[in-house]
């Protein structure tokens, strides 16, 4: 497992864990990023938000939030 902030551009993954902060979990799940959700990392440049394509939506997530999200890399569709 790795943090979302560590994944490379173009890789696919699934969300393994969202951490334990209930406020964060409520906020991140409301935009469609839930445990088990499959996503693609569109852009991951240092000091910039991470762009993730999940559930037919492009999300920009700040790096601090990405540090809380545990992922597992999967093969392309």
Contact 40/22 with Cβ under 8 angstroms?
no
Tally of residues, the chain: 77
In 3D, which of 41, 31, 57 has the Cα closest to residue 3?
Answer: 41
Q: What percent of the chain has pLDDT over 70?
A: 99
Q: Span 2-74: which CATH code? A: 2.30.30.90
Contact 76/11 with Cβ under 8 angstroms?
no
pLDDT grade, residue 76 (50/70/90)? confident
Where do the domains of the chain lie?
2-74
User: Rounded to two decimals, what is the model's pTM?
Assistant: 0.89
* Model confidence pLDDT, tens digit, residues 38-60: 999 999 998 899 999 999 999 99
């Amino acid at each position: 497992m790795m943090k979302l902030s560590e994944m490379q551009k173009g890789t696919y993954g699934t969300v393994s864990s969202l951490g334990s902060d209930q406020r964060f979990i409520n906020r991140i799940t409301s935009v469609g990023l839930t445990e088990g959700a499959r996503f693609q990392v569109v852009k991951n440049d240092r000091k910039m938000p991470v762009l993730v394509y999940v559930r037919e939506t492009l999300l920009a997530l700040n790096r601090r939030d990405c540090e809380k999200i545990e992922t597992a890399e999967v093969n392309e569709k």
